[in-house]
Amino acid sequence: MPTLQELFLNDENFPRLVADAQALVDSELASKGGISGTAVKAAYKAVTAFAPGYYQETLSSMLPEMIAQLQPYWADFGASGSADFGDYLAKRGEEVSESLLSVTDNMAQLSGRAAVVKAYQMVRGGAGKNIDAALPALGAMVQKYA
Neighbours of 116 (CB within 10 A): 20
d(CA 18, CA 24): 10
Helix (H, G, I), strand (E, B) or coil at 108: helix
Nearest to 59 by CA among 104, 98, 1: 104
pLDDT digits (tens, 9 = 90+) for 24-66: 988 988 887 787 778 778 877 877 887 788 778 888 999 999 9
Q: How many helices and strands (H and E) does the chain possess? A: 7, 0
d(CA 110, CA 53): 17
pTM of the model: 0.84
